[in-house]
Amino acid sequence: MDQSGLISAAHKRDEPGNMVRLCKQDMTVIWCISHQYGSSLSQKQRIIIQNNYGQKLVGVLHETGSVELVILCHGFRCSKESSIITNLATVLEKEGISAFRFDFSGNGESEGSFQYGNYGGETDDLHAVVLHFSRLKRLITAILGHSKGGDVVLLYASRFPDVHTVINVSGRFYMERGIEDRLGKDFMERIKKDGFIDVWHKTGKVAYRVTKESLMDRLNTDMHAASLSIKRDCRVLTIHGSMDEIVPIEDALEFSKIIPNHKLHMVERADHAYSSHQDDLASIVSDFIKTGLQQDKDVPNHVQLPKGR
């Protein structure tokens, strides 16, 4: 079987220049869309990976044929389909670098229940993804996360020394901040009384529930300690918008003070979603990853696989 793991495929046209293939892999149906970028052919493949808790994580692989792979992590209440994540995957694809974007458990298409905190669980999800592709002999050249995903990739680097390039896009340093904006000033009193807080959507329906356990998970997540635990041979880039209305630029400055091998790039006038600065963000990310690829030619990543696998 080739690296894409395809057993059988039926073809049909999607749009000019694209070819869709319906494929089967280990009894799981995945789809593949082929694109032509210049002289190279790339494919999009829907892939399912099981995490340590038996939940299926759904992702999309932008396959260019490169051994190198960048893993992209979405933010709070988002998914692999967020504009930031899909745009970055497409830009890397055009550069000839494969990228994988996926839904954390309880988000998007992945199995599990949504949890307000779950930073440790999402770090475990990311580890399951890294191990999956490492077993396929892929070189995980970088992990990138936006917003909450930025915290997850930093937490990953503090626990696992196997990825040497980490990109934190607008992650939060002060975890106690920003909670009142979503839950109200009296959130601690309410959650102590009822054990949960329902956050309502403007349509009048409950958007999600915050349990006391998940709230404490967030409050007990120590980004200061995690930052200190990141090894010096891990290159960390923090990108932050100067007009971020969700996570202040102050948080980025704190990461810059603590993480040993760290670079900070502030994007002037960019908001939290980089609404008018997607191209700027993509250029910064692409340049940093390509520089890392050049440096990693002499120092390859070594992912520690579980025994017996």
- Confidence category of residue 123, pLDDT binned at 50, 70, 90: very high
Work out the burial of residue 205: count CB atoms within 10 Å of its CB; fewer than 13 is exposed, 13-18 middle, 19 or more buried. Answer: exposed
Q: What is the DSSP string of 58-118?
A: EEEEEE-S-SEEEEEE--TT--TTSHHHHHHHHHHHHTT-EEEEEPPTTSTTSSS---S--
**What pLDDT shows up at residue 173?**
98
| Mean pLDDT in residue range 137-146 | 97
Among the residue ranges 2-6, 52-56, 147-151, 180-184, the one predicted with the least confidence is: 2-6
| pTM for the structure as a whole | 0.85
Mean of per-residue pLDDT scores for the chain: 88
**What pLDDT shows up at residue 118?**
96
- Domain extents for the chain? 19-173+221-296, 176-209
CA-based max dimension of the chain:
62
| Mean pLDDT in residue range 283-305 | 79
Place of tokens 């191209």: 279
Structure-token pair, residue 84: 């930031």
**Spatial distance between the Cα atoms of 240 and 244, rounded to a whole number of angstroms:** 7
Query: Residue 96: which residues within 8 A CB-CB, separation 6 or more?
Result: 37, 40, 64, 66
* 205-231 tens-digit pLDDT: 999 999 999 999 999 999 999 999 999
* 59-86 tens-digit pLDDT: 999 999 999 999 999 999 999 999 999 9
**What pLDDT shows up at residue 202?**
87
Give the number of other Cβ atoms within 10 Å of residue 23's Cβ: 20
Q: Are 235 and 285 in contact (CB under 8 A)?
A: no
Q: Pairing between strand 235-241 and 262-267?
A: parallel
- Give the Cα-Cα-Cα angle 190, 194, 199 (nearest 5 degrees): 65
| Mean pLDDT in residue range 131-145 | 97
| Mean pLDDT in residue range 251-272 | 98
Q: What is the CATH number of domain 19-173+221-296?
A: 3.40.50.1820
- Confidence category of residue 33, pLDDT binned at 50, 70, 90: low
- Give the Cα-Cα-Cα angle 80, 83, 85 (nearest 5 degrees): 45
